[in-house]
Structure 1
Amino acid sequence: MIYQDTVESEVIVHKPWFVGSIFAVVFTLVFVLNLAGTAVVELMRPIIGDQLQGGLSDRFVISFIIAFLFCLNLVLIGYARLKVQIGIVWFQLLVLFLAFFDSFELSMPFIWKHLPYLVTQGVVTTIYVSAISLIFASIIAVVGAISKLSSNGFAYGIASFYTSFFRGLPALMQIYLIYLGLPQLGIVIDAVPAGVLALSLCYGAYMTEIFRSGIASIDRGQWEASRAMGFGFGLSMRKIVLPQALPVTIPPMGNMFISMVKDSSLVSVLGVWELSFLARTIGQPTFHVLEMLLSASLIYWILTILLELLQSRIELHYNKSKVK
């Protein structure tokens, strides 16, 4: 398998159209980087030194070097296996991102000092709010999906109005309406329950359509067979329909949870001590807001990567079950 991958890569690299494309990329990058002006010179100054003047000749030479290295990297990567190619590209992009952040002249001691508190307090609160919201949103979504699939006009009308309203308003607006609007009706709730309620209603509307499509994908004969066996509606849903619809809904559900983790930052407007709120609160007194915001951004990214891995494992499990 390794030999086959290598041979295929060599064939691709030595095709005339591929070589021609490499030259086209080189000259395109040279042209684009020259348009960037002095930014190209500043990009290479840490490597080459202060002797660069930023003139047209310097820009052209540096642009050509960057373009040539980029295309050489592209050709050499083509000889590796697919997983190795992906790993190399990820590593190179990560190095470029770190170099980009390093140009901000961040205070690393300040970051390392407050990073544990961001993780222990901010991440825990973020995951807590997101997980509780996901549970309630799933319950709402199942009820809404069943209502939209029913022939009862009253149930369908309520479910369709709910999905239309909460999918039509921004999540931040919903948070404000619930936190500031409910007290007008005599219902006063704290910031965390208000944020959980807002996220649950918001994402429940989107997930309603996910569950509706998943349930609708089950063959009608499954319902008829369950009724012939004497199963009621609830037992049919719990034992037959939902277990079969679950694999269909896992990918979009995973995407919803990832989005919910990021959108949980919106509850910071209510003073909830989640990741974004703590990042701003810690950084503002000492004017290190950028350090804390970048740290919070990297933590969000790591959380989403972990959730993507978890989602892929769950999908793989159901795919194996389906094969069996």
Structure 2
Amino acid sequence: MPHWLQLMADSLPALLWAGLIFTIPLTLLSFTLGLALGLVTAVVRLFAPAPFAAVARFYVWVIRGTPLLVQLFVIFYGLPSMGILLDAFPAALIGFTLNIGAYSSEIIRAVISSVPRGQWEAAYSIGMSWSQAMRRTILPQAGRVAVPPLSNTFISLVKDTSLAAAITVPELFQTAQRIVATSYEPLILYIEAALIYLVMSSVLSALQGKLEQRFARYGGFLEARA
């Protein structure tokens, strides 16, 4: 067996384990928490009093206007100067959550705004409260439109987790860096890590396509009933 192929075979279990233990949990937790934060931020920007909406806009402006890597460094390396010490994984989780929250809030805000005003009026006409109208009428319609951009955000997050290596989270890419430090074969190991990310992104893209088809059929069913 060629040397490069043997090296890839030997390092594959460690890379996959790092992906299973750190990359995937970090992605799922960050996206779930970030999506919840994005929903709250979007609702605040659309419906809350002006002072609260201004705070939400400021948060989105800061996060979207600064690099994710800088945000991670501020949380992990900067906060200790204020007496706030965080382990690497929680620091990465906070950083990715804040980042996803800002970007997803813009998606959610746009899709909620795209729901016709008549849907609100129809919900109110049958006695729904604001929260009931939002939960039962507006969000289901907005969610169908939000699936493609939010899916793209999730796929991007999978790749962005490699930035957590910069703050010592032993995820997939950092594990590859550690193996490079002992094998002195950066090209082979980094290509292998890239291939793993490529496979994960391809699988998620295929799932995204199926999810979009399902929502499209559901949307067509609703339109037929209407």
Answer whether TM exceeds 0.5 for this pair.
yes
Amino acid at match of 1:181: G
| Residues in 2 aligned to 1:185 and 1:229: alpha-carbon distance in whole angstroms | 53
Which of 1 and 2 has higher RCO (CA within 8 Å, sep 6+)? 2
Instruction: State the secondary structure of the residue aligned to 2:128.
Output: coil
In structure 1, the partner of 2:153 is 256
The one-letter amino acid paired with 1:143 is V
1:153 corresponding residue in structure 2: 50
Q: What's the counterpart of residue 107 of structure 2?
A: 210
| Residue 113 of structure 1: how far off its partner (Å) | 1.0
**What amino acid does structure 2 have at the position aligned with 1:275?**
L
Instruction: Give me the TM-score of the superposition, normalised by structure 1.
Output: 0.65
TM-score calculated relative to the size of structure 2: 0.92
Residue 271, structure 1, aligned to residue 168, structure 2: yes
Matches within 5 A, 1:123-272: 123-150=20-47, 152-272=49-169
Q: Which has the higher helix share?
A: 2
**Does the residue aligned with 1:187 lie in a helix, a strand or coil?**
coil
Whole-angstrom CA distance in 1 between matches of 2:12 and 2:167: 23
Q: Does 1:293 align with 2:179?
A: no
Displacement of 1:184: 3.4
**What is the identity percentage for the equivalent residue pairs of Structure 1 and Structure 2?**
35
Give, in whole Å, the separation in 1 of the partners of 2:127 and 2:14. 56
State the partner residue of 1:71: none
Residue identity in the other structure for 2:206 = L
Mapped partners of 2:79, 2:184: distance in 1:
36
C-alpha displacement at 1:151, in angstroms?
5.5
Following superposition, which runs of at least 4 residues in structure 1 exceed 6 angstroms of deviation?
A: none
Gaps of at least 5 residues in structure 1 are: 1-104
- Aligned-partner Cα distance in 1 for 2:148–2:19: 27
Mapped to 2, the partners of 1:157 and 1:176 lie a distance apart of 26
Q: How far apart, in 1, do the equivalents of 2:57 and 2:160 lie?
A: 24
TM-align CA RMSD:
1.5
Counterpart in 2 of 1:54?
none
Q: For 1:239 and 1:187, how far apart are their aligned partners in 2?
A: 41
Indicate if the aligned counterparts of 1:283 and 1:292 stay in contact, CA closer than 8 A. Answer: yes
Trace 1:97-112 onto structure 2 (pairs within 5 A): 107-112=4-9
1:78 corresponds in structure 2 to none
Deviations 1:192-219 (A, max 9, x none): 0110110111121111110001101111
Name which one, 1 or 2, has greater alpha-carbon Rg: 1
Question: What is the distance in 2 between the residues matched to 1:292 and 1:191?
Answer: 23
1:303 maps to 2:223: no
Question: How far is 1:123 from its partner?
Answer: 4.2
Map 1:63-142 to 2 at 5 A: 107-142=4-39
What's the counterpart of residue 224 of structure 2? Answer: none
Listed one character per residue, the Cα deviations across residues 17-48 of structure 1 (whole Å, up to 9, x for unaligned) are xxxxxxxxxxxxxxxxxxxxxxxxxxxxxxxx
